[in-house]
Structures are given as structure tokens and as C-alpha cells.
Amino acid sequence: MSNFHFVVEIILAAVTIYSNISSKSFDSLLGNISNSLFLTSIENLNFNIFCISPCILDKFMRIYQYQAHDFAFSSSEGLLHALGGAELLQLLNQTIEESLQKSGFSQKYINEIVTSVMRVFFGQSAGINGFVGAISLAGTSGGIWAVEGGNKRVCTGLLHASKAQLISGTVISIEEKTQQKGHSGGTVNLYEVTYSSTSALVKEAYNVILIAAPLNSKIANITFLNFNPPVPEFSNPYKQAVVTFVHGRINASFFGYQDPSQFQLNSIFTMENPKLFIYGMVTVSPVQNGKAALNPLLGPRVWKIFSSQPLAKEQMNFLFLSYDSTKAKTWLAYPHYSPPEKLPPIILHSRIYYLNSIEWAASDMERSTVSAKNAALLAYHRWYEKMDMIDQEDLHKRLKTEL
Ligand SMILES: Cc1cc2nc3c(=O)[nH]c(=O)nc-3n(C[C@H](O)[C@H](O)[C@H](O)COP(=O)(O)OP(=O)(O)OC[C@H]3O[C@@H](n4cnc5c(N)ncnc54)[C@H](O)[C@@H]3O)c2cc1C
């Protein structure tokens, strides 16, 4: 399995299912409603939620124009407000369920479709904030891509292109220090970073620091020493998710199929039920010849299963008739969302910036990338005191007319 290059095809031919573990089978909640009806429903959902006066996603896309003109924002709330005003910010203060109810979606639709998507994407319910909920629903609309050789190649490619020097190590503490300026006299404030590398503890001084990992004692456990005022501590919890890859033959009867040859699903999403031990599962396939690898008639496929806990052997035996290879990874994956959401600051100290603030609005690669570019621009403008490039309002109008 290690040589496999995966692409996830999120075809939302979702069967909404619930479990009856004691009888060792899932019953199809929706009986004979066809999968294609689900596809139609989800496309409609995207259309409605994202294109209400005007589309949430269109508003978010404005950031690329703002950043192309080098504008930066000093808080994540400020960034979202500049993109979509109070309406976009309001999504952080209500659940996706409330947002959709206000837009006229039925409770049945929210329970069976929306909740299933939230479970697979964020291991949570329709009680997550409206912004991250909208981002998750956008992820169902296709256009998902993967890089041959692994998406991690994007990171190595960017590192190479930026010509940055990478020092591998774990940062343990950051301390503000005052140093003599050398011959010119006077003093300069620097940040002394202590990190452990393969050989030993190393201390090095920096002018500007950008933190790109969640400041949570179980993830990036960085101590801030001797700061006055102190750097705030963040105790908000991250949620555990387990991803298990399995190369095996699905147990079609467990999903209500008497005839295994009828089982054509590539994605299985689940509704909320305390007895359920998976959030969902999707097939993955190589970047090249992906369609062939997805054909259920051609033997075992690779499934990616999302759950809150590692799967026990007994649970694996419910899901698969047989399997020859498995690999599981446990993550503290994403914030445990609980609107109203208060986003951590981006500026932690005069020249320390925190990129992962944005995760509390929505945790995904695009938001992280936007936050990273924002922090770089912010650090630059504050260093050179270009304050007219920070926290500007009405950029959407101004960029149309003035610039
Ligand atoms: C199972 C799973 C599936 C996902 N699927 C998708 C998807 O399909 N699409 C999508 O857009 N997003 C997805 N995401 C979310 C996406 O991975 C994150 O949004 C993104 O990785 C966040 O990037 P980051 O740089 O902020 O943090 P991370 O990618 O977590 O990087 C933080 C890095 O900091 C390092 N680190 C931590 N502490 C220290 C320290 N003290 N010193 C030095 N280094 C430290 C860590 O080792 C890590 O390498 C998924 C997440 C998970 C867990």
C-alpha cells in the first residue's frame, strides 16, 4: 500500500445510514430512494447556501485580490469582516444548522445530509459554526485534486521555491531578550528561540517569529518566557480523529446489500447515532488510472475510514470480509467547534504572529495558506510601518475604483 498514490474522489452518492450493531447490519434509512437523488440534493444544497446574496465563497475569494495588492489584516475577524462584512462574521456566532434553518432547509435534510458531511469532514455535528460548515459543504462539490507522489510535495516544492533555510527541530520556548547592538551602541529586542534538534538543545535569536502550529499543550507545547504582558494561553480543545486505510473486500451485506455485485458505492456517510463507530468511509485511488482502481468488480479496493477511535478488530470484521493491509493514524485534527467562536489573536506580541488563529473559523489548507500569506504581509508592513496597508475597510469597492 505504501507505493500507492491516492486521490480521493468524493462522489456524494452518499447512502445515509444508521447502525444496529447488535444485528451486525446497517439498515438503509432511506429505503429505496436512489443514490442519484442524493447527488441532486447535494448540488441543490451547494447552490442555495453559497449563492444567497451574494455567495459566501465569492466573498471569501476577494482575499486573493486583496493579497495581490499586499493588503493585510491584524486579526482573523478583521480579515473575514473585510471580505464579507457583518454577515460573514455572523456565521461564526451561529451553527450551520441555524444558518440553514434560517435559509429554509428542512430538519430532515440537515440531519440526514448536512450532519453526515460535517461528521466526515470535521468529526462533528451540524452544531459547528456556520463558516466552517459552509466550507465543508463546498468540499462536496467536486474538483478535489491530488498530487502524484503525495500532496506533501506541495510543501517541499514551496520550500524549494522560497529558498528558505529549513532547520528541523521542536521549538520548546520563546523568550524576549534585549541585546547590545554592537559598535553602533544602543539595544535591540530579539526573541530567543530554544529548540531541540537531533543533537542537542539550541538557542537562537530572531527579529520576527511566525508560529504555524496549533498552540495547544498536546500539539505545539511552546512556553513563552518572561513576556510582559504575558502571551495569552489557549486552552481550547482540539478533537481527535483517526484515519484508517484498508486494502480489502467490503462486507456489502453489512451495508444492507444482499447481492455484493450490486454494491457500487465509493462513499459512505453516516448519521448521528451513539452506536456508530465510523463517521464515514471513502475509496481512494491512484492519481493515474484512478477509475480502474475504483471498480468494485476488480477485487479489493483501498478504503479510507474516518472514526473518533482506532478501529477494533471486531469492528474491522463488520466492515470487511477480508483485508490484507491496514494503516491507521490518530490526529488531534481540528478545533472542537462551539459557536459563538472567539478566534485567537494573530499578533501574540509585537513581532510574534500566530497563523493558526484562522483554524477557529475553519481548519483547512486553503484557510491556512491565506492566513500564512496574511501573516507574512502583516509582519512586513508592521516592520516597515506601512500602516496604510493594514486593516483597510471597503477594499472591495476601492480596488474596483481607485487602484
Ligand atoms: C485527517 C485529516 C484530513 C484532512 N483533510 C483535509 C482536506 O482534504 N483538505 C483540506 O484542505 N484540509 C484537510 N485537513 C486539514 C489540513 O490538514 C490542515 O488545515 C492543515 O494541515 C493545517 O496546516 P498547518 O500548517 O496550520 O498545521 P499542520 O499541518 O498541523 O502543521 C504544523 C506543523 O508544526 C509542527 N510542530 C508542532 N509543534 C511544533 C514545535 N513545538 N516545534 C516545531 N514544529 C512543531 C508539526 O509537526 C507540523 O508539522 C485534514 C486534516 C486532517 C487531520
Per-residue pLDDT tens for 242-264? 999 999 999 999 999 999 889 98
**pLDDT of 11 higher than 90:** no
Q: Which atom of ligand 1 is nearest to the CA of 364?
A: 19
Give residue 215 CA to ligand 1 midpoint distance, Å. 12
Would you give the distance in Å from CA 310 to the centre of its chain?
20
For residues 9 and 233, which has the higher predicted lDDT (pLDDT)? 233
Q: What is the pLDDT of residue 292?
A: 65
Q: Whose CA is nearest to atom 28 of ligand 1?
A: 213
Ligand 1 pocket: which residues have CB below 6 Å? 170-171, 212-213, 219-220, 222, 241, 243, 331, 333, 356, 363-366, 368
C-alpha grid cell for residue 365? 489548507
Please report the sign of the dihedral spanned by the C-alpha atoms of residue 207, residue 212, residue 217, residue 221: negative
Q: Whose CA is nearest to atom 34 of ligand 1?
A: 213
Q: What is the pLDDT of residue 294?
A: 65
Q: Which residues have CB under 8 Å from 275's CB, separation 6+?
A: 19, 20, 21
Q: Whose CA is nearest to atom 49 of ligand 1?
A: 213
Give residue 140 CA to ligand 1 midpoint distance, Å. 21
Q: Which residues have CB under 8 Å from 361's CB, separation 6+?
A: 76, 80, 92, 129, 131, 132, 341, 343, 367
Q: Which atom of ligand 1 is nearest to the CA of 170?
A: 42
Q: Whose CA is nearest to atom 18 of ligand 1?
A: 364
State the first-to-last Cα distance of the chain, in angstroms, to the nearest integer: 52
Q: Whose CA is nearest to atom 25 of ligand 1?
A: 212
Query: Residue 215 in contact with residue 344, Cβ under 8 Å?
Result: yes
Query: Residue 373 in contact with residue 67, Cβ under 8 Å?
Result: yes
Q: What is the pLDDT of residue 46?
A: 46
C-alpha grid cell for residue 264? 457500487
User: Which of 16-30, 127-141, 178-192, 378-392 is most confident?
Assistant: 378-392
The pLDDT > 90 percentage for the chain reads: 64
Whether omega before 229 lies within 30 degrees of 0, making that bond cis, reads yes
Mean per-residue pLDDT, 201-212: 96
The pLDDT > 70 percentage for the chain reads: 84
- pTM recorded for the entire structure: 0.86
For residues 54 and 128, which has the higher predicted lDDT (pLDDT)? 128
> CA 389 to CA 59: how far, in whole Å?
20
Whether omega before 340 lies within 30 degrees of 0, making that bond cis, reads yes
- Residue 288 pLDDT level (bands cut at 50, 70, 90): confident
